[in-house]
Structure 1
Amino acid sequence: MSLVQYSDSESEAESASPPAKKPRVEPRPGLPPLPAAFHDLYASSTRVSVKDDPNLHGGRKRAIPHVEGNWPSHLYLEWYPAKNELALLADLIAQAQGHDPKEHSIHSLLHSDLGAQLPLHISLSRPVVLRTEQRGSFTDLLQKSIRDSHIAPFSVLPDILKWVSNYEKTRWFLVLHVAKPLNDELNYLLHLSNSALASFGQPPLYAPSRDSRARASVAHDRRTDYSDCFHISIAWSLDAPAVGDVERVAAIDLKPAQDLEVRFDSVKAKIGNHVESISLPAT
């Protein structure tokens, strides 16, 4: 970049003037957190292929094949951990990994490949499929069910760290199991989700799969207690954990994690790339 040439008069005037003081920069307070609705707008990654290519997803296979007119859907409770909570969860993953990552490769669910923080969740449904014409009526039914339930926002506390697999046994997840909340909100919300999905011919979560009649009866029976099933996944692996991996996780000190209070004030319904946030009633 070339220097600007000034005339002699300009130079003398500048030399006679006292040097200008630099403006004082006041420290700026920390920026407020992004509104929850912002995350819903960018809940899905960009599709890089119209085919199921596991090489693009770390070896993972699509649970539901892409079919025109079908909308993969999922109901869940979402949690964005704070910075100190992320550090605690990252430490748990590191302890579960052990000294040799080659023996059992673990992939964190805390951040994306580009370093962006990812939301964690408690599932209220398995991956299901809705048809295009069902999306609106299903959302309306779920919204009414939650609104009429009078389930207020609530909190859960983690109590156990363990490995669990998906239905197909194609992936294993390192999860924080959560203790049963005071008013049994998780079982109640699961019952509402299962009932809404059953109305559209979809299978329930955490229910026997012997036949459709058995699934339907369990889906509408709120007396069934699935408190042993609710968890938050924090990492995953394509390989089943060996006995040593299971023992190492069981030996991890969970006292710091048991102080985490995970609060939920809405149910998320992800249908295709759209996320509907359904607020829990205030009272």
Structure 2
Amino acid sequence: MFSDSTQYTDDPTRHGGRLRSFSHVRGHWATYVYVPVHPKEEFAELLDDLLDVARRNGLHLTKMEEFHISQSQTVILRHHWIQPFVQSLRERLSSVNRFLCVAHRLKVYTNQEKTRTFLGLEVTVGQQQLLDMVSEVDQSLQEFRLETFYQNPSFHVSLAWCVGDMVDLLQGAVRDHLQSMVDDFDDSEILTRFHAEEICCKAGNKVFSIPLR
């Protein structure tokens, strides 16, 4: 049997060179809340084209395994808090209606530690509804004395990432070129719009879905 004092050594090579923001502690679960995004099949072609151009400009990006819009920071929940936290979310979000989002403006982001850079599509339609949901999620976080979301967030769908602070390589002419590719891609207006139909909470390897009305 393992005790809570069991030491865990993180190996960044097991997850693409990423560094953990939190040390691993048994019984503590990394948790975040998000709106899942399920793009149409044609979106993969657009993303491959974007990553190819980035590669030719010296930046090798790794495609995200899944797409979403964050509604919280990553926080740490003790195992016995998970179900009560999810129940709190369900109660607060029970009356939220589904809504349209459009995300077509390319932006470059880094995490707080500047250890990863992300290419993302900023949400330009649906921001107010996302802010309203964040307000509800924040109240659930505060119940458990957890850190709330960022002030004045830039809601976005992360497309791809790389290790380190590589913002300078994706600014200026390169970003303008990538934006023009998004704008000119066939059916781009359709590919960059979707409906927010559920909000999810992922705690460790468990995902809890909360359907919107």
Mark yes or no: TM-score above 0.5: yes
Partner of residue 275 from structure 1, selected from 192, 207, 213: 207
Deviation, structure 1 residue 170? 0.7
Question: Higher strand proportion, which one?
Answer: 2
Deviation, structure 1 residue 90? 2.2
Partner of residue 164 from structure 1, selected from 102, 109, 129: 109
Partner of residue 141 from structure 1, selected from 75, 88, 91: 88
Aligned to 2:97, the other structure's residue is in SS state coil
Partner of residue 249 from structure 1, selected from 150, 175, 181: 175
Say if 1:155 and 1:264, in contact at 8 Å, map to a contact too: yes
Letter in 2 for 1:278: I
Identity rate of aligned residues, in percent? 28
Structure having greater relative contact order (Cα 8 Å, sep ≥ 6): 2
Aligned to 2:125, the other structure's residue is in SS state coil
Partner of residue 65 from structure 1, selected from 11, 23, 48: 23
Q: Compared with structure 1, are the counterparts of its residues 262 and 93 closer, same or farther at alpha carbon in structure 2 (3 Å cutoff)?
A: farther
* In 2: Cα distance, 1:190 partner to 1:68 partner: 28
Partner of residue 107 from structure 1, selected from 62, 65, 89: 62
Superposition pairs of residues 82-93 of structure 1, within 5 angstroms: 82-93=40-51
TM-superposition CA deviations, 1:110-146 (whole Å, max 9, x none)? xxxxxxxx32000001110111221121111110000
Superposition pairs of residues 31-46 of structure 1, within 5 angstroms: none
| Structure 1 position 127 matched with structure 2 position 74 | yes
Deviation, structure 1 residue 196? 0.7
* In 1: Cα distance, 2:90 partner to 2:155 partner: 22
* In 1: Cα distance, 2:124 partner to 2:167 partner: 26
| Structure 1 position 188 matched with structure 2 position 132 | yes
Partner of residue 237 from structure 1, selected from 151, 156, 162: 162
Deviation, structure 1 residue 180? 3.3
* In 2: Cα distance, 1:239 partner to 1:129 partner: 24
Q: Compared with structure 1, are the counterparts of its residues 105 and 92 closer, same or farther at alpha carbon in structure 2 (3 Å cutoff)?
A: closer
Superposition pairs of residues 153-232 of structure 1, within 5 angstroms: 153-181=98-126, 184-207=128-151, 226=152, 229-232=154-157
TM-superposition CA deviations, 1:8-61 (whole Å, max 9, x none)? xxxxxxxxxxxxxxxxxxxxxxxxxxxxxxxxxxxxxxxxxx531101111101
Say if 1:154 and 1:265, in contact at 8 Å, map to a contact too: yes
Deviation, structure 1 residue 98? 4.4
Aligned to 2:80, the other structure's residue is in SS state helix
* In 2: Cα distance, 1:242 partner to 1:129 partner: 28
TM-score for the superposition, normalised by structure 2: 0.86
Task: Please list every run of 5 or more consecutive structure 1 residues that lacks an aligned counterpart in the other structure.
Answer: 1-49, 110-117, 208-225
Q: Compared with structure 1, are the counterparts of its residues 258 and 51 closer, same or farther at alpha carbon in structure 2 (3 Å cutoff)?
A: farther
Deviation, structure 1 residue 202? 0.8
Aligned to 1:263, the other structure's residue is in SS state strand
Q: Compared with structure 1, are the counterparts of its residues 242 and 122 closer, same or farther at alpha carbon in structure 2 (3 Å cutoff)?
A: closer
Q: Compared with structure 1, are the counterparts of its residues 242 and 206 closer, same or farther at alpha carbon in structure 2 (3 Å cutoff)?
A: closer
Q: Compared with structure 1, are the counterparts of its residues 105 and 69 closer, same or farther at alpha carbon in structure 2 (3 Å cutoff)?
A: same
Runs of 4+ in 1 over 6 A off after TM superposition: none
* In 2: Cα distance, 1:78 partner to 1:94 partner: 25
**What value does the CA root-mean-square deviation take over the aligned residues?**
1.8
